[in-house]
Amino acid sequence: MRTLAKDLPQKVGETATVCGWAHQIRSMGKLAFVVLRDRSGMIQLVVQGEVGFGAESVIKATGLVRANARAPGGIEIEASEVECLSAAESPLPLRVNGSLDKVSLESILDNRMLSLRNPKLLSIFRLQSELLRFFAEHMRSEDFTEIKTSKIIGTGTEGGTGLFEIAYFDRKAFLAQSPQFYKQAMVASGLERVFEIGAAYRAEKHDTPRHLNEYVSLDVELAFIEDELELIELEKRILKAVFAGVASKDADMLELWGASAPSADSVDAAPTVSYDEALAIVARTGTKLYELNPEAERILCEWSSREHGSDLVFVNDYPRKARPFYAYPKGSGTLSFDCLFRGLEITTGGRRIHEYPMILDSCAAFGLDPASISDYLSIFKFGCPPHGGFAIGLERLTQKLLGLTNVKEASLFPRDRRRIAP
């Protein structure tokens, strides 16, 4: 019967068996100290004689659990039996048991199968699993239904640029940029409130610390809303639930990165400014910009932090030409918004057009052929409630929560312009 490292304090004075990776090995001749790492933590083993395996080998050890003030965590196992279940080659191409701060991201990603064993790097994905959990739990608490929609689409949804093409038997198909059309369809189907956790694809040649060609999109869409302000309130509730969840359950992972989750008060304090106001705030810093580019996002978040004590800022009322054809118009603007978090846009959303004549007009204004999106248009032809939604980028949320430099660090197996392996 195996005992996890975290449960050993209850076993002092007893014999226990542990399994895991040889995290660190210090040979002292007649005996050796082996730190064993399992999914729950670490434990020091005291082994008689030479150990016949190298770091990262997978071992199984049995022995007396005893208190020892000098052992890490105050406990160790005097191993009477040690078995090597799988030997690791040495030297390792990358150190698992030390800091990887000086190793390049390219090298970390090239050796992904091994670098993920580094406890600090692995904690990124333990935390990400929790973000998925708290997001889904919150959506369900507000009566949202989880959906899974196809990522293979016959035609480009928003003009056809930036799509990866698939050879689909004897036809062309594409990877979906977002579940936008499908989540709208599911709102109109009567579910009213839906969320989807799924992959999204962008065939864009960006190579920046903020772009991935494949990412996980946390999509939300709901019926019977008036404007984007309701969506902003919903996103605040979601973020508060997620941040409160990780702050209370995952303090150890945040601590590894010297990170903290925003408090509920600071999320509530997040200001909402119009696109024009946002440009004016940026202009007051002496930076002249004609659009909200990455530099503007940073400036706006610094402003929000300074003036409102919040790591978040919402920008609404984007001009019509800056938004897709389905954005609900209001004068020359739209009922749309972005959410910026610690200097980075993590969400785009807004109310959508739900009236059939209006969406046809918008197709014409944007030069879209209605015939090419007839399935989508049928959503509106047969009665569709007023609705809207947004999407949160999972990797960007992870990145900014932990303070990672590059969004690729928050993707297990990131895809970029050059990388399709491992």
State the DSSP code for 187: I
Is residue 378 a contact partner of residue 335, using CB atoms and an 8 Å limit? no
Pick from 350, 376, 396, 397 the residue near a second copy by CB under 8 A.
376
| Per-residue mark of binding to a second copy, 18-37 (x: CB under 8 A) | -xxxx--------------x
Q: What is the DSSP string of 295-316?
A: HHHHHHHHHHHHHHS-SEEEEE
Nearer CB in complex with a second copy: 153/281: 153
Establish if 52 lies at the interface with a second copy (CB under 8 A): no
State the DSSP code for 142: T
Establish if 385 lies at the interface with a second copy (CB under 8 A): yes
Cα–Cα separations (whole angstroms), residue 322 to 161, 168, 336, 389, 404: 16, 32, 10, 17, 29
Measure the CA–CA gap between 403 and 235, rounded to whole angstroms.
Answer: 21
Measure the CA–CA gap between 179 and 391, rounded to whole angstroms.
Answer: 10
Nearer CB in complex with a second copy: 309/422: 422
Nearer CB in complex with a second copy: 26/39: 39
Which ranges in 250-373 belong to alpha helices (H)? 251-256, 264-268, 275-284, 294-308, 356-365
Nearer CB in complex with a second copy: 219/311: 219
Q: Cβ 166 to a second copy, closest distance in Å?
A: 5
Placement of tokens 């694809």 in the chain: 201
Nearer CB in complex with a second copy: 150/287: 150
Measure the CA–CA gap between 49 and 320, rounded to whole angstroms.
Answer: 74
Q: Cβ 192 to a second copy, closest distance in Å?
A: 4
Q: Cβ 287 to a second copy, closest distance in Å?
A: 33
The two structure tokens encoding residue 14 = 């007893």
Nearer CB in complex with a second copy: 235/250: 250
Establish if 421 lies at the interface with a second copy (CB under 8 A): yes
Q: Which span (97-105, 163-171, 250-258, 273-281) binds a second copy, by CB under 8 A? A: 163-171
Measure the CA–CA gap between 422 and 413, rounded to whole angstroms.
Answer: 7
Measure the CA–CA gap between 400 and 414, rounded to whole angstroms.
Answer: 17
Q: Cβ 361 to a second copy, closest distance in Å?
A: 15
Pick out residues in 209-268 that bind a second copy (CB under 8 A).
213-214, 216, 223-224
Q: Which span (160-168, 240-248, 296-304, 322-330) binds a second copy, by CB under 8 A? A: 160-168
Question: For residue 213, what are the contacts with CB-CB under 8 A and spacing of at least 6?
Answer: 164, 201, 202, 203, 204, 415, 416, 417
Is residue 404 a contact partner of residue 397, using CB atoms and an 8 Å limit? no
- Per-residue burial over 370-379, b = 16 or more CB atoms within 10 Å of its CB, e = otherwise: eebbeebbeb
Measure the CA–CA gap between 161 and 366, rounded to whole angstroms.
Answer: 14
| Per-residue mark of binding to a second copy, 95-114 (x: CB under 8 A) | ----------------xxxx
Q: Cβ 248 to a second copy, closest distance in Å?
A: 16
Nearer CB in complex with a second copy: 32/340: 32
Establish if 189 lies at the interface with a second copy (CB under 8 A): yes
| Per-residue mark of binding to a second copy, 297-316 (x: CB under 8 A) | --------------------
Measure the CA–CA gap between 310 and 363, rounded to whole angstroms.
Answer: 38
Establish if 335 lies at the interface with a second copy (CB under 8 A): no
Size of residue set near a second copy by CB under 8 A: 98
Pick from 70, 102, 171, 288 the residue near a second copy by CB under 8 A.
171
Nearer CB in complex with a second copy: 202/240: 202
Which ranges in 161-227 belong to alpha helices (H)? 180-186
Pick out residues in 57-86 that bind a second copy (CB under 8 A).
57-58, 85-86
Pick from 192, 233, 277, 361 the residue near a second copy by CB under 8 A.
192
Is residue 89 a contact partner of residue 66, using CB atoms and an 8 Å limit? no
Nearer CB in complex with a second copy: 44/57: 57
Pick from 165, 207, 252, 255 the residue near a second copy by CB under 8 A.
165
Pick from 45, 108, 182, 317 the residue near a second copy by CB under 8 A.
182
Pick out residues in 113-152 that bind a second copy (CB under 8 A).
113-114, 116-117, 119, 122, 125-126, 128-129, 132-133, 136, 140, 143, 145-152
Residue type, 264: A
